[in-house]
Every structure is written in C-alpha cells, then in structure tokens.
Amino acid sequence: MPKIVNHEEKKQHILEVAYLNIQKHGSMGTSVRSIANAANMTTGQVRYYYPNHSILLEEILAQLTKEIEHQIIEIFMDQSKPIIPRIIQAILLTIPLDKKRRADMFVWLAVQNQNSVSVNQSMSNEIYILSEKVYEILKAEQLLKSNINKEKSVQRLHALIDGLALHKLYQPDQLSNELIEAIISDEIYSWME
C-alpha cells in the first residue's frame, strides 16, 4: 500500500528547518543540501516543494510577514483596550524586543540581503503600511492635531520604527524595551491634540 504523504506538513517542516538553519548559519551558509540534511530528506525532496533556493527564502519571508500581520490584526480587533495602547502594542511587534522577534528579524534581514526580494514583500513596506494605518485610526478617532502633515508624520514614524528595530537588533542592551516603548509613545502622542 502506498504511503500517504501530507504535503503541507512536509512543506512546513522544510520551512521550519530552513528558518533554524538561517538563524544558525545565515542565509549564505544555508543551502538546499544543508536544509535537506537537517530535515532528514534528500535534496530532491526539498526541491520538489521548493524548486530553488530563492523560492524557499521568499516563502520564509511571506510566512514571517503573515505571522506579524495576523498578530497586529488581533491587537487592533481587541476592543477591550483603549486605542492608543493597542497602536503602541502593534508597533512594538515590529521591533525585536524579545528572543523570538530578534530571531525573526535576523532571519528576515539575512533573507532580504541574500534574495533581494521585491519591495512588495518587504517588511519595510509593511511597516510603512502600519504607519499609515496608525495615522488613519487616529484620524478616524478624531485625535490628530488639525495641522499635522500626513506624509511627513507617516514617514517619520516609519523611519523611527526601522531605526529602533535595527538599533535593538545590533545593540540589544543599549536601549531598554521600556525606553523604546516610551519613544514610540512620545511619537504617537506628538501627533495628537
């Protein structure tokens, strides 16, 4: 009797092994062969699901982005908290404040550098969209200053998030999580009446 293979489980297993491999060796030190070895598979099996290294890396990026987007949507949907703490919490999800987010950002940067992924899959683009969403939420809640410049404010928040994320990744002990939260809070409150 033929063995029944759960293809989705196999694909997910390959992605998990690739993620750990990139974390340990960087994207340059990660090959289809090293992923296959770590997954107890042949390179042919890995290539069946991911025909080339770039497709595999793109899938890892897509999965990381999807996870963060899902968490942000959950935060915004939670009506039990006031809107400003939810906005701050959503922004903080994009900054490597804990071991998991630090690992995610390291993998994301390694894959970005290796793969030159298009802008539409870039986390930076997602952070810009989040910054725009913050502006729109505050506008809908009628909390914005009347003279605020949307493009300048959104770009400044985007740059602030990017800068804090990189700073926290490369110099994790220089800024405490509490200070980063205070900096983000100050920026959001500077938009408000």
Q: Tell me the pLDDT tens digit for each residue of 83-122.
A: 999 999 999 999 999 988 888 888 888 777 765 544 344 5
In the chain, pLDDT over 90 holds for what percent of residues? 61
Q: Given this model, what pLDDT does residue 96 score?
A: 94
Q: Given this model, what pLDDT does residue 147 score?
A: 95
Q: How many other β-carbons are positioned within 10 Å of the β-carbon of residue 136? A: 13
pLDDT of 142-152, one tens digit each? 999 999 999 99
Nearest Cα to Cα of residue 96 among 171, 21, 26, 158: 171
DSSP 172: T
Q: Given this model, what pLDDT does residue 110 score?
A: 76
Using alpha carbons, list the distances in angstroms from residue 70 to 115, 140, 179.
Answer: 24, 22, 26
> In whole angstroms, what is the distance from residue 116 CA to residue 44 CA?
25
Q: Going by C-beta distance under 8 Å and a sequence separation of 6 or more, which residues neighbour residue 94?
A: 68, 123, 126, 127, 130, 161, 165
b (16+ CB within 10 A) / e for 144-160 = beeeeeeeebbeebbeb
Name the pTM for this structure. 0.82
Asked whether residue 161 carries a pLDDT value surpassing 90, the answer given is yes
Q: Given this model, what pLDDT does residue 120 score?
A: 42
> In whole angstroms, what is the distance from residue 40 CA to residue 2 CA?
20
Tokens 């926290």 sit on residue: 168
Q: Going by C-beta distance under 8 Å and a sequence separation of 6 or more, which residues neighbour residue 107?
A: 19, 22, 23, 60, 64
Using alpha carbons, list the distances in angstroms from residue 112 to 9, 75, 103, 121.
Answer: 25, 27, 14, 10
pLDDT of 29-68, one tens digit each? 788 888 999 999 999 999 999 998 888 888 888 888 899 8
Using alpha carbons, list the distances in angstroms from residue 75 to 20, 31, 72, 81, 182.
Answer: 27, 36, 5, 9, 19
Beta-bridge partners for 144: 192
Q: Given this model, what pLDDT does residue 19 score?
A: 87
Q: Given this model, what pLDDT does residue 47 score?
A: 92
User: 40: helix, coil or strand?
Assistant: coil
